[in-house]
Structure 1
């Protein structure tokens, strides 16, 4: 069983620096409305980025294995934040956007489905506390 560890260090006021197991660092900060200075990422937004990144890495790998021809690919995530404390995401929408002239929509949708239903561990973690809706869009360029 693998264990992941990060170290998060207070940098004063409402800012922290966190390490990644690869040694990279990122800044975490509260918004101005919560006493922060806006430098760095917000913790809940990082959760959405982690969700998109996890699924995106799965799909990028499958695109390569399937030898699919795409020009660009992006994932947009949005989530509803509950009003009561602790505020959590209770509904998340993940939109997959593929761009290109020769998109194999069937195989691309298969890659999305494999990530969403089988491979993405972050997606599975989100399912423990939120309803997740996924949408796929194909854009000819």
Structure 2
């Protein structure tokens, strides 16, 4: 049987919503004050970028652990271009994987990134359906 996610999102009044998650944690979604909201929660489109980075980051972190790689800091930056016309969507997304450390094994870290991008990350595959992806891996030595 196929796996499904069932999410309930409830209106809290004005422009705010609360959404649940299979993890048992809830979060609030809202829009900016200048758009009529109270700016009390996460923006929906930006959450998509967090989902993309989080999904791929989990893959890479898991592979770093398996390969016993020494990384002091690991960040993922997603810079997305929103179309001008409604419905506005991300048509281009730059994803930068930043690794910081003294003994970075570049080939292995790049392999971890590549495996996430090409094989494991389902959110990445979803983004591929509507956006051009530009992936960069950047190594910072302390």
Are residues 1:33 and 2:34 paired?
Answer: yes
- Other structure's SS at 2:13 match: coil
Q: What CA distance in whole angstroms lies between the structure 1 residues aligned with 2:62 and 2:115?
A: 11
Q: What CA distance in whole angstroms lies between the structure 2 residues aligned with 1:83 and 1:5?
A: 32
Q: What CA distance in whole angstroms lies between the structure 1 residues aligned with 2:40 and 2:78?
A: 21
Aligned match of 1:50? 51
Unaligned runs of 5+ in 1: none
With structure 2 as the length reference, what TM-score do the two structures score?
A: 0.98
- CA drift of 1:32 comes to 1.7
Q: What CA distance in whole angstroms lies between the structure 1 residues aligned with 2:41 and 2:75?
A: 22
- Other structure's SS at 1:84 match: coil
Q: What CA distance in whole angstroms lies between the structure 2 residues aligned with 1:32 and 1:79?
A: 22
Which deviations, in whole Å up to 9, do the C-alpha atoms of 1:73-106 show, x marking residues without a partner? 0000011000100000000000000010010011
Aligned match of 1:118? 119
Q: What CA distance in whole angstroms lies between the structure 1 residues aligned with 2:62 and 2:102?
A: 20
* Aligned-residue CA RMSD (Å): 0.6
Q: What CA distance in whole angstroms lies between the structure 2 residues aligned with 1:33 and 1:108?
A: 42
Q: What CA distance in whole angstroms lies between the structure 1 residues aligned with 2:103 and 2:133?
A: 29
Unaligned runs of 5+ in 2: none
With structure 1 as the length reference, what TM-score do the two structures score?
A: 0.98
Stretches of 4+ aligned residues off by more than 3 angstroms: none
Are residues 1:61 and 2:62 paired?
Answer: yes
Q: What CA distance in whole angstroms lies between the structure 2 residues aligned with 1:11 and 1:116?
A: 36
